Structure 1
């Protein structure tokens, strides 16, 4: 979710009812160097979990402590990112192939902070090496408080279907909460994912692209409360607030470029959305973009 769950996005989902916010994945070495980009990613609000990636236990521990001092309520260690750039740096899901190094990282981070430490993993490196249950047990023994499992191997990237049922094997190995992740895009998916995995909760990722209100719908659904779809005018208000948040946080020039992907997701599936996206993607004036957002979403 790097490049998506930034501070402007987290502000929106918090306002819509989310009680725990998770940062973008942050490279631990960049964090301790306090680069501008990493500091932007690490801006925390109350009840924010900061997700760290890296392959050096001491650097990960230092970055975790820095984030705790900045207000992070949870440190999440990423052993799940399948992106080539991250894996080639021996971070993310590359650690699924090196349980010894993964254990050293977990141990170092747990010792460095007083806040809970959680771990995000995949089912394994590939179908021949689905070691999530074993790695989850290692994490629990070292003090991790929760495990989130994306139901694919690294080799799958985001292809095929998430194997929710396999996550039962993780659940059987540990006593700490297990969270199911992957392909959760609707309330029906939530119900099926929980049933198949027997997990304690769900993590929504790409399913919230262009639908930040899905988080609140999921909370109400799992709480047994009434679930409603925002009206067209409510959705427009959310989109405009998100757009304004992006401009305020990044500035006009960078903000317009960053907002384009979100505008694309918000407009996906609507009539004439392709033409709308082409038009907006060629605009450089923030007010012109905003006027086009209002015009388009007032007609859908």
Structure 2
């Protein structure tokens, strides 16, 4: 979710009741070097707690130093990324590459746990490939050094985001741990989240790509668990209105030029499947400023009323 879960996006999910939010993943070295752009990723000021800050790296001592900085900034929980499959991350022996180096992975977790007072968790995948599955052994070793929860994406690194997440591996791992196991992968609708809980016995569900352009997945799911009634999906108008709110917040956070451009992907997700969405997306991608995007979205909303 790098490039997605910034402060404005988190504020939208919070409006829809998401109970635990994560930052984008943050480089340990960039943090310890005081990189300006990285410090922006770490900006959690004014946000309600709890909030999780996720860090990534490959050197135990540097990760420990970064964790201390993150704790000082007010993180409720520190999450170690051992799941990112991106080639540029893996080339640096970070993210899911750590699944190929279990001794290094365990030592990183050990040193981070010892360096901070807040809970430490790990986000990981089931393995590097079908021939190199690391669950439940690696999660058990992480638990032994003090990690307090594991989030498990039911894919291997070589799958990236293709194919189907292996929920049976999530179930096996949940049964092998004493700490909470958070299931992740292929949760697109509220029904998927409840099915994952029932089928795997995991303690909680992490919703990631399923929330892009669809913050209602949280409010509908929470409402369903409280009332027994599943609210209908958002209307076209509600989706565009939410896009307008999100646009206003990202521009306030990052300025007009950058905010308008970074919002293009989010608006594509909000508009997905709507009548005439392709043309509107194209127009938005060429729009030079905030007011033009507002006008395009307002016009699209008016057309949908006809």
Task: Tell me the TM-score normalised to structure 2 length.
Answer: 0.94
Equivalent residue number for residue 11 of structure 1:
11
1:271 pairs with 2:286: no
Equivalent residue number for residue 198 of structure 2:
195
SS across alignment from 1:127: coil
Write the distance in 1 (CA, Å) between the matches of 2:139 and 2:224. 28
Matched ranges for 1:1-300 at <5 A: 1-44=1-44, 45=47, 46-228=49-231, 229-300=233-304
Write the distance in 2 (CA, Å) between the matches of 1:39 and 1:87. 23
Structure-2 change in CA distance of 1:31 and 1:105 (3 Å): same
Contact 1:177 1:200 in 2 (8 A): yes
Write the distance in 2 (CA, Å) between the matches of 1:194 and 1:239. 30
CA RMSD of aligned residues (A): 1.4
With 124-133 and 12-21 compared, the bigger mean Cα shift is at: 12-21
Write the distance in 1 (CA, Å) between the matches of 2:84 and 2:301. 34
Alpha-carbon displacement from aligned partner over 1:145-203 (angstroms, at most 9, x marks no partner): 11110010001111100011111121121111111101100122112222322211110
Contact 2:6 2:41 in 1 (8 A): yes
Contact 2:90 2:97 in 1 (8 A): yes
Alpha-carbon displacement from aligned partner over 1:230-255 (angstroms, at most 9, x marks no partner): 45544333221110111111111111
Deviation at 1:219, TM superposition (A): 2.5
Give unpaired runs (5+ residues) of structure 1.
none
Contact 1:232 1:298 in 2 (8 A): no
Contact 1:23 1:51 in 2 (8 A): yes
Aligned residues: 300
Structure-2 change in CA distance of 1:224 and 1:198 (3 Å): farther
Contact 2:187 2:210 in 1 (8 A): yes
Write the distance in 1 (CA, Å) between the matches of 2:222 and 2:112. 30
Write the distance in 1 (CA, Å) between the matches of 2:139 and 2:274. 42
Write the distance in 2 (CA, Å) between the matches of 1:225 and 1:20. 22
With 174-183 and 223-232 compared, the bigger mean Cα shift is at: 223-232
Alpha-carbon displacement from aligned partner over 1:15-47 (angstroms, at most 9, x marks no partner): 221221100011111112221221121111232
Contact 2:239 2:271 in 1 (8 A): no
Write the distance in 2 (CA, Å) between the matches of 1:221 and 1:132. 32
